């Protein structure tokens, strides 16, 4: 028979093992704060309930103040009533002309029936009650509830006052405090005050309900406007309300809606430009292939046919003509290689990432100078690092390439100067590039084309800034300046450390 303890110890690790990934995920998941039950209530309801809660607290405090004040007032009234009984007995005895015991006791009993806050019972010398004792006949029905009486009524107090006539005790006045009369007055006052406060608070709450409805109505318009923005309707507009704070919110909303509308329009324009950019690039490549490669291929075909005819002739081979045709073919092949290299370099600079960026840019300007001998191209890239990453390097290369092309093609510039420098500032390290020319400058009504739009989008995608300004170069009467600043990623040093070793510089 197996041991139960051993069986349990063997099975427990498997049975208690959590599902793969469940325990770490549960441990890593942050605890969500509890949502209060009033989170989904309308703002007006929450404000009114807050005011109502304040009213309830104020009412409780007022009730406490009334109870404490009433208890003190009742105690003072009780003490004052007790203090008036003894002088009243003495005055009554002095007022009687023939103060016999019976007449004194009956007169005191009648006089004490009208006292408030105390009840006086007249007893003779043998302790018998004179008259009917404290009478409640003719009094109004008690209105104060028992709980209110228990809150205010002090501890009952009884005092026996001897009645003396000519030095002889003829009876006793049993005095008992009776605060119900004073409590009735306090209850009536408290009830009237509570009723007036209730009516006033109800009126205030009703007025607050109506006022909050008018005050918070612009928030409903704001919610509707935000819903329209969520549905990509950027024509939403809010009229400024009378409230200064809500008017500021409405103004900011209208500005945000306008900015989103402009961004949407710019995005639409960019999408239209991007839709045509690929076709334009294909058309440009097709035109270059037709204009540049077509004649070269035709010349190769003609020379090849000539070589074939020379080889097929029955007479002696003209070696000079064969050598001339071979030389022509070699020249045409060299021209095709140059055209192919230029075309590939325009599509994707093959040297980027393999040689330092400064050498790539210098080679680009030398190539421009070779293709445009009437324009002088000058570059200053001495303070650049080896590279700043594929995206940044390609962006700088394309911006200089497009700006130089525009300077020659549209500005008819005779001199183009390109400067690139790495600067440390308060916002971090920036790569600043400027392209100046002495061309025609920016003409009035100039529209941004695909080249400038592409440069701007490239630079802004990297968090940089692109500016196209009027400027001059070497005191030229006109010209254009393209300024570019791109923030440098601090992690690029790690990327450069893992880059391949430098290749030989381009010649």
Residue 381 CB coordination number (10 Å)? 20
Q: End of a domain among 177, 200, 223?
A: 200
**Model pTM above 0.75:** no
Name beta bridge partners: 415: 376
Give pLDDT tens digits for 227-252.
888 888 888 888 888 778 888 888 88
Encode pLDDT of 308-356 as tens digits: 887 777 777 777 777 888 888 888 888 888 777 777 766 667 667 678 8
494 pLDDT exceeds 70? no
* Cβ(381)–Cβ(361) below 8 Å: yes
Range of 195's domain?
Answer: 43-200
Question: Is-contact 183 152, C-beta < 8 A?
Answer: yes
Lowest-confidence range among 25-39, 61-75, 112-126, 197-211?
Answer: 25-39
Boundary residue ending a domain (167, 200, 233): 200
315 within some domain = no
CATH number at residue 483: 3.30.565.10
> Where a domain ends, among 150, 170, 200?
200
**Residue 129 domain-assigned?**
yes
The 10s digit of each residue's pLDDT in 13-57 is 444 444 444 444 444 555 666 767 667 777 788 888 888 899 899
Number of domains in the chain: 2
Q: Please check whether residue 371 lies inside any domain of the structure.
A: yes
**Token output for 228:** 């329209």
Can you list the alpha helix ranges (DSSP code H) found in 113-243? 146-152, 180-230
Q: Domain for residue 24, yes or no? A: no
436, two tokens: 């100046």
Question: What are the phi and psi torsion angles at 171 (to 5°)?
Answer: 175, -170
């Amino acid at each position: 028979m197996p041991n139960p303890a051993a069986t349990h110890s063997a099975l427990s690790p498997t049975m208690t093992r959590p599902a793969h990934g469940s325990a770490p995920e549960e441990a890593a998941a942050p605890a969500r704060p509890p949502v209060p039950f009033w989170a989904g209530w309308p703002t007006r309801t929450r404000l009114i309930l807050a005011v109502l809660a304040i009213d309830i607290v104020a009412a409780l405090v007022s009730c406490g103040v009334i109870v404490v004040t009433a208890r003190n007032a009742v105690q003072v009234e009780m003490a004052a009533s007790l203090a008036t009984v003894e002088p009243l007995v003495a005055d009554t005895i002095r007022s009687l002309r023939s103060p016999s015991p019976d007449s004194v006791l009956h007169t005191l009993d009648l006089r004490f029936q009208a006292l408030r806050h105390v009840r006086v019972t007249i007893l003779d010398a043998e302790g018998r009650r004179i008259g009917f004792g404290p009478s409640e006949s003719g009094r109004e029905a008690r209105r104060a509830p028992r709980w209110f009486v228990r809150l205010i009524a002090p501890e009952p107090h009884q005092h026996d006052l001897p009645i003396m006539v000519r030095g002889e005790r003829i009876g006793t006045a049993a005095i008992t405090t009776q605060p119900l009369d004073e409590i009735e007055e306090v209850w009536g006052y408290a009830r009237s005050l509570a009723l007036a406060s209730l009516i006033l608070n109800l009126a205030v709450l009703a007025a607050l309900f109506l006022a909050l409805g008018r005050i918070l109505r612009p928030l409903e318009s704001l919610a509707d406007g935000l819903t329209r923005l969520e549905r990509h309707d950027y024509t939403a507009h809010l009229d400024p309300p009378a409230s200064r704070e809500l008017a500021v919110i409405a103004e900011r909303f209208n500005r945000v809606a306008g900015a989103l509308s402009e961004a949407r329009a710019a995005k639409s324009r960019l999408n239209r430009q991007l839709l045509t950019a690929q076709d334009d690039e294909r058309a440009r490549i097709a035109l270059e292939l037709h204009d540049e490669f077509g004649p070269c291929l035709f010349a190769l075909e003609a020379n090849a046919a000539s070589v074939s005819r020379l080889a097929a002739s029955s007479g002696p081979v003209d070696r000079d003509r064969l050598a001339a045709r071979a030389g022509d073919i070699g020249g045409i092949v060299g021209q095709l290689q140059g055209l192919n290299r230029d075309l590939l370099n325009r599509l994707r600079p093959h040297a980027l990432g393999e040689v330092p960026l400064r050498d790539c840019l210098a080679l680009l300007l030398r190539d421009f100078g070779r293709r445009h001998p009437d324009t002088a191209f000058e570059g200053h890239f001495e303070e650049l690092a080896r590279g700043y990453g594929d995206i940044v390097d390609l962006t700088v290369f394309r911006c200089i390439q497009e700006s130089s092309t525009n300077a020659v093609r549209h500005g008819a510039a005779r001199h183009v100067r390109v400067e690139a420098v790495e600067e440390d500032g308060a916002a971090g390290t920036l790569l600043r590039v400027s392209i100046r020319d002495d061309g025609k400058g920016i003409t009035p009504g100039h529209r941004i084309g695909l080249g400038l739009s592409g440069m701007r989008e490239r630079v802004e995608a990297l968090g940089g800034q692109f500016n196209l300004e009027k400027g001059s170069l070497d005191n030229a009467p006109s010209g254009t300046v393209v300024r570019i600043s791109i923030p440098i990623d601090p992690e690029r040093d790690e990327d450069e450390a893992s880059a391949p070793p430098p290749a030989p510089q381009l010649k």
